[in-house]
Amino acid sequence: MAADSQHFWGPDYDALKAVDPEIAQVVDDELTRLRGGLQLIASENLTSPAVLAALGSTLSNKYAEGYPGRRYYGGCEVVDQAELIGVERAKKLFGAEHANLQPHSGANANLAVYAAFCQPGDKVLAMSLPHGGHLTHGAKVSFSGKWFEPVPYTVREDDGLIDYDQVRDLALEHRPKMIVAGATAYPRLIDFEKFRAIADEVGAILWVDAAHFIGLVAGQAIPSPVPHADVVTFTTHKVLRGPRGGMLVSRAEHAKALDKAVFPFLQGGPLMHAVAAKATALAEAATPDYQAYARQVIANAQALTSALETQGMRAISGGTDTHLALLDLQPLGVTGKEAEARSGLAGITLNKNAIPYDPQPPMTASGIRVGSPSITTQGMTEAEMGDVARLIATAVTADESTDVGQKTLGEVREEVGTLVSRFPAYAR
Ligand code: DSN
């Protein structure tokens, strides 16, 4: 129990260790991994102790099917407050008319959007997955591609940018029920006004999946999709730095349909500890400190991208406006799969990623995706990005099947350890 509050009964590591030493060891090992390496997965972050405290609280116990004041269980008067506070914070932070904090994940928030606006078989225009879209934007292996009719748009081969003329042409040809803007590996700003105009021209719903960049919007570092979209879905654990989970904000006219789609259509009881932790993250995101963080995330991503280009990688779209970069490794003669594995051996966590028009299958991929949210939370700035890029480039080109490669990876790992020790994650 925390020493400074007689009421808080939260994360108690000693209890975990006594009851379940095996899982305590896993928790310990993960902290060691986080602290000991460079975390460059663009969709991850290091959430704050305050968010973790809300997440590890007794709110986890409460069943609260329904919405505040309209629950299917007694005893919800306290957890109601967490949800009401969180909804108000989301509406204020994003200038939205409606918010729902209950989606358990980004994919669930997205499924709620389909449920609210579409019928099975309806056409949905969205970015193709190999060009940077998301599974839930119409991939054949997901409900979105099985139950709906995806119409994919692509990015241009020459500059890696969305071709808004192509989006409009496809919209006019197919008259989709819904148009999706948003991606998981698109480094540039998206022109939401253009998407709105196209949606209006064909009478489509405009849904923005802002999972990747909503934290930058919250921090006022990039333009917001909220004034333009019918609905904006997102996850809460990426740049936004909250707990794992999903959320949506929308125009008031869609509130009822979306709320009914989240519950009771696709979820049962909300995870009230997660709802409370989302509310805490929203409070943190409304501060000047967080706004400075969001600006630094972009500055670091831009500096890192330039430095990786200097190391011989090709940045798709020639750079980034956001927290992530997509790098083509073909000029180095390395695949994404090799790069991910070699980086891992050197204490650098990143992911292989298909690049647009990739000649390799997705599990091999020609590229890597890197992001700056975690290293920026640790306090790194542009001053460190040259070293980070050099370490990545040295690692991805070291052939681990040779003695020389093994030695190089060991040296990089050591240098990574020295670098991160200056910016400790979860420092005491
Ligand atoms: N899996 C997430 C990402 O890494 O981008 C998207 O859901």
Domains of the chain: 58-285 (3.40.640.10), 294-422 (3.90.1150.10)
320 Cβ contact list (under 8 Å, min separation 6)? 187, 188, 298, 301, 302, 305
163 Cβ contact list (under 8 Å, min separation 6)? 153, 154, 155, 156
Residues for the chain: how many in total? Answer: 428
In this structure, which residue's CA is closest to atom 4 in ligand 1? 43
66: left (phi over 0), alpha (psi -120 to 50) or beta: left
Cα of 17 from ligand 1 centre, angstroms? 32
Tell me which residue has tokens 């917001």. Answer: 224
Identify the pLDDT of residue 5: 63
Cα of 408 from ligand 1 centre, angstroms? 30
CA distance 71 to 68: 6
Residue 244 is a catalytic residue: yes
On whether the CB atoms of residues 163 and 156 are closer than 8 A, the answer is yes
pLDDT digits (tens, 9 = 90+) for 211-226: 999 999 999 999 999 9
pLDDT digits (tens, 9 = 90+) for 165-200: 999 999 999 999 999 999 999 999 999 999 999 999
From the CB of residue 310, how many other CB atoms can be counted at a distance below 10 Å? 12
Identify the pLDDT of residue 428: 76
pTM above 0.75, yes or no: yes
66: three-class secondary structure by DSSP: strand
Ligand 1 site, residue 106, Cβ cutoff 6 A: yes
From the CB of residue 14, how many other CB atoms can be counted at a distance below 10 Å? 8
pLDDT digits (tens, 9 = 90+) for 279-302: 999 999 999 999 999 999 999 999
Euclidean distance between the first and the last CA atom of the chain, given in angstroms as a whole number: 17
